[in-house]
Amino acid sequence: MLFRSIRLTLTLWYAVTLAVILVLFSSFFYLTFKRELYLEVDQELLSIAQGIASPTLEPFLRTPPSAFEQVLEDFIGPRIAGKFVQVLDASGKLATASINLQDQRFAVRKQDLLKAAQGKIVYATVGGWEKQPIRMVSYPIIVNGRLAYLVQVGAPMMAAQEMLRKILIVLGVSIPLSLFLFSYGGWFLAGLSLKPVDILTRSAKKITAENLSQRLEVLNPHDEIGELAATFNNTLARLEAVFSRMRQFSADVSHELRTPLTILRGETEVALRWVKEPEEYRAILQSNLEEIKRMSEIIEYLLDLAKAEEGMLRLEFSEVALNDLLNELVTQAKVLARQKGVVLAYEALYPVVISGDRLRLRQIFLNLLDNAVKYTPNGGEVRVVLDSVERYARVAVIDTGSGIPEEDLPYIFDRFYRVDKARNRADGGTGLGLSLSSSLAEAHGGRIEVVSEQGMGSVFTVYLPLPAEAIDVA
Ligand SMILES: Nc1ncnc2c1ncn2[C@@H]1O[C@H](COP(=O)(O)OP(=O)(O)OP(=O)(O)O)[C@@H](O)[C@H]1O
Ligand SMILES: [Mg+2]
């Protein structure tokens, strides 16, 4: 639920990352600084302790404090200022000490003493007096392999610790503060870069089925959001095309069905009102039957088309000898062609057998033959040629008819599409033949291609897949 907004998610991620980085960096800085600080003090303490332990100073270790003080200043120099020095003998008793220690003594832990007795230099931070932390080195002087003296030099760490404390405070304040400021900046930037999304959402909300022609504004076509908008626009364009095809389709269907219905109605009304003789009734019923047939045909076609497009068309596959089938269909069509004065010829170069639905294949070729004869004027010629190429049986229906204008070619397989929209119903079909034929060819795994030149004629070529065995033989 927290991550419902990309902006919030981005900002949170940003803040968390930044916090981790800041804390890591500050810890590293603080610890390094602290180490360096102690290292420096330790080195100074060590060099003083070494100075005191040097053989020249040795005799003075047993002198009274006042003289010791003077010796220290002479030998060690101004570095000694502010340092505490105490020297213990082998038994742990105080040998001498600097005056500023007064009667205070360093409290040294037992184990440190033991380590020093073994000749090791030991550093420690001890709580001195008046709560002052003291950094201290215990430096053993070994004579003949045995501990002779233990020189201890201490320096007050008040100032250093105070400095560290101040650094901590500064970090403690600046980290949350910069975290807040940067997060706010991040929130602002995220908002800025998500602004196009917001604009996109707004304009997308305005698009409905009624104004599918609207497009999203693409601010920058090269960035991610621009790409998204462009993709969405493409989808919209496709949707728009589908919608308009659907609208066109409903309009076409109603139009196609309205005409026969109007005729039916008119004739029936006339019959009821005026007709007396049985012969006249017969004539009218005959004509009505024509219209009814036409309507059933349209509906049949549409149903088949819808099924084919949904992939629901049931095909009864069997072996079909295409040369026999075509021979039969051409013989049938010859009657029609002769009436129109069109020569119809058929040539099969060799027998071709495919696997297909006989009735559906008939439908495909009848439609093509019907078109070829219908759109070829008196004196023309229609040729049907059967052969095969690669993995397909090929049937070409070639005519010397009117041809199809180039601008119409892409649409002739669309439902209800007719080149001559004004063609009268006597010789004009519904424009469903080719769309059904191509759907049927596709249902068989094939396709229909067309080449046509206006005034010269057309070639419709049907490709239907050959059975696998047939290809192996070939
Ligand atoms: N062989 C052809 N020569 C010229 N034009 C053709 C040819 N075949 C089809 N067409 C054009 O393509 C259009 C669509 O053909 P289709 O077969 O789908 O419809 P139709 O023949 O008009 O009607 P239907 O086949 O439904 O009775 C036709 O109207 C015609 O204009
Ligand atoms: Mg047709």
Are the CB atoms for 157 and 133 separated by under 8 Å? yes
Check if 461 has its Cβ closer than 6 Å to any atom of ligand 1.
no
CA of 260: how far to CAs of 106, 252, 285, in Å?
Answer: 121, 13, 13
Q: For residues 42 and 18, is the Cβ–Cβ distance under 8 A?
A: no
Question: Domain check: are 445 and 339 in the same one?
Answer: yes
Q: Average pLDDT of 321-350?
A: 94
Q: Say yes or no: 104 and 65 in one domain.
A: yes
CB of 419 sitting under 6 A from ligand 1 = yes
Q: Which of 163-177, 216-230, 329-343, 442-456 has the lowest mean pLDDT?
A: 216-230
Q: What is the DSSP letter of 466?
A: P
345 pLDDT higher than 90: yes
Same domain, yes or no: 265 and 381: no
Partners of residue 357 on adjacent β-strands:
317
Name the average pLDDT for the chain: 88
Indicate the range of 24-28, 79-83, 296-300, 358-362 predicted with least confidence. Answer: 79-83
375 lies in the same domain as 293: no
* Any ligand 1 atom below 6 A from CB of 404: yes
pLDDT classification of 474: cutoffs 50, 70, 90? very low
Which position has the higher pLDDT, 168 or 260? 168
Q: What is the pLDDT of residue 470?
A: 61
Task: Map residue 383 onto helix, strand or coil.
Answer: strand
pLDDT interval class at 314 (50, 70, 90):
confident
126-135, 155-164, 403-412, 418-427: lowest mean pLDDT where? 418-427
213 lies in a domain?
A: no
- Do the domain assignments include residue 181? no
Q: How many domains does the chain have?
A: 3
pLDDT value at position 371? Answer: 94
pLDDT band (50, 70, 90) for residue 77: confident
First vs last C-alpha separation in the chain: 66
Q: Which of 78-87, 176-185, 350-359 has the lowest mean pLDDT?
A: 78-87
Q: Is the pLDDT of residue 426 over 70?
A: no
Whats the size of the chain, residue-wise? 474
Please tell me the distance between residue 267's alpha carbon and the centre of ligand 1 in angstroms: 29
**Which residues sit opposite 87 in a β-bridge?**
96, 151
Helix 358-374 to helix 433-443 angle, to the nearest 10 degrees?
150
**Is the per-residue pLDDT at 423 higher than 60?**
no
Question: Which of 267-276, 397-406, 427-436 bottoms out in mean pLDDT, i.e. has the lowest?
Answer: 427-436
pLDDT > 90? residue 210: no
Rounded to two decimals, what is the model's pTM? 0.57
pLDDT at residue 148 is higher than 90: no
User: Which atom in ligand 1 lies closest to the alpha carbon of residue 431?
Assistant: 19
Task: Please report whether residue 203 resides in a domain.
Answer: no
398 Cα–ligand 2 center, Å: 15
Which residue is listed with tokens 């005026």?
274
Average pLDDT over residues 290-314: 87
For residues 128 and 147, membership in a common domain is answered with: yes
- 14 plus 140 within the same structural domain: yes
Confirm or reject: Cβ of 252 under 6 Å from ligand 1.
no
229 Cβ partners below 8 Å, 6+ apart? 200, 216, 217, 218, 219
Which residues are close to ligand 2, an ion, with C-beta < 5 A?
A: 371, 429, 433
Asked whether residue 358 falls in the same domain as residue 255, the answer is no
Are 93 and 153 contained in the same domain? yes
Instruction: Confirm whether 210 is domain-assigned.
Output: no
Same domain, 158 and 21: yes
Interval between CA 297 and ligand 2 midpoint (Å): 13
**Domain span holding position 110:** 2-163
* pLDDT exceeds cutoff 90 at 382: yes
Q: Which atom of ligand 1 is nearest to the CA of 432?
A: 26
Q: Is 201 within the bounds of a domain?
A: no
Three-class secondary structure of residue 237 per DSSP: helix
112: confidence class by pLDDT, cuts 50, 70, 90: confident
Q: 413 CB less than 6 Å from ligand 1?
A: no
Last residue of a domain, one of 310, 344, 377: 310
pLDDT confidence band for 32 (50 / 70 / 90): very high
User: Does 121 score more than 70 pLDDT?
Assistant: yes
Same-domain status, 353 and 375: yes
Grade residue 2 by pLDDT with cuts at 50, 70 and 90.
low
- Tell me which of 128, 163, 198 is where a domain ends: 163
Verify whether ligand 1 is closer than 6 Å to residue 308 (CB atom).
no
CATH of the domain at 18: 3.30.450.20
**Same domain, yes or no, for 367 and 440?**
yes
User: Does 81 fall in a domain?
Assistant: yes
**Which CATH number do you get for residue 270?**
1.10.287.130
Residues 59-63, mean pLDDT to the nearest whole number: 72
pLDDT tens across 228-281, in order? Answer: 889 999 999 998 888 888 888 888 888 888 888 998 999 999 999 988 899 999
The answer to whether position 183 is within a domain reads no
Q: Does 446 score more than 50 pLDDT?
A: yes
Ligand 1, atom 4: closest residue by C-alpha: 403
pLDDT greater than 50 at residue 374 = yes
Weakest mean pLDDT among 290-304, 331-345, 352-366, 413-427: 413-427
| Domain final residue pick, 283, 310, 337 | 310
Inter-CA distances, 382 with 220, 337, 342, 385, 441, Å? 56, 9, 7, 10, 21
Cα 400 to middle of ligand 2, angstroms: 16
| pLDDT higher than threshold 80 for residue 57 | no
What percentage of the chain's residues is helix, strand, coil (to nearest 5)? 60, 20, 25
Does residue 383 register a pLDDT over 50? Answer: yes
Q: Are residues 256 and 283 in the same domain?
A: yes
Pocket test for ligand 1, best of 363, 434, 438 (most atoms within 8 A of CB): 434
Residue 434 lies in a domain: yes
**What does 180-235 look like in DSSP terms, one character per residue?**
HHHHHHHHHHHHHHHHHHHHHHHHHHT--GGGTT-----S-TTSHHHHHHHHHHHH
- Closest residue by Cα to atom 31, ligand 1, is 419
